[in-house]
Amino acid sequence: MSKTSQQNTVTDANGASVIHTQAHTSGLQQVPQLVPVSPGGGGKAVPPSKQGKKNSFVDRNSDEYRQRRERNNMAVKKSRLKSKQKAQDTLQRVNQLKEENERLEAKIKLLTKELSVLKDLFLEHAHNLADNVQPVGTETTTTNAENNGQ
């Protein structure tokens, strides 16, 4: 499937376009100077209001044309550069976030451990109290108090 083709494949047109930087190296001729623009076949395009009577042909030799092309080429290059840059930034962002993540996980691990130690201390203490009170049961020196859950 492709687009190129349905009927005839090959396209036409191509003009000679040369890169500004370089000239055509060849001595071949340039043939079509005017090429049809916009296939039009189907039926779309063409503003409803005005049927452009414009040429519908583009003079590829025109200075005007070359100038437009060159401008567009620059714009394209610029746009693509920007796009690439953005993509790279995104990748960097990923790495950044990954690092941040690891840092956070480490911190969690630390806090968790600390918490665990404190809880153990509490338990130990509680046991000591229990040992002391075990005998009779009168002294409850406790100020006891907060159980926080969790």
Partner DNA sequence: CTGAATTGCGCAATTG
Partner DNA sequence: CCAATTGCGCAATTCA
Contacts with DNA, 21-60, as mask; x by CB under 7 A: x-------------x-xxx--xxxx-x--x-------x-x
Spatial separation of the C-alpha atoms in residues 143 and 114, rounded to whole Å: 25
Q: How far apart, in whole angstroms, are the C-alpha atoms of residue 61 and residue 69?
A: 11
| 98 near a second copy (CB under 8 A) | yes
3-state SS class at 133: helix
Smallest distance, a second copy to C-beta of residue 59, A: 13
Nearer to DNA, 16 or 126 (CB): 16
Query: What does 112 bind: DNA, a second copy, none (CB cut-off 5 to 8 Å by kind)?
Result: a second copy
**Residue (47 or 137) nearer to DNA, CB:** 47
140 neighbors 133 (Cβ within 8 angstroms): yes
Closer Cβ to a second copy, 49 or 61, answer by number: 61
Sign of CA dihedral 106, 109, 111, 114: negative
Partner that binds at residue 9, options a second copy, DNA, none, CB closer than 5 to 8 Å by kind = a second copy
What is the nearest approach in angstroms of DNA to the Cβ of residue 89?
14
Question: 40 or 52: whose CB is closer to a second copy?
Answer: 40
By CB under 8 A, is residue 129 in contact with a second copy? Answer: no
Coil, helix or strand at residue 139:
coil
Q: Which residues of 1-29 are buried (b: 16+ CB within 10 A; e: fewer)?
A: eeeeeeeeeeeeeeeeeeeeeeeeeeeee
Restricted to residues 59-118, the positions that interact with DNA (CB under 7 A) are: 60, 68-80, 82-83
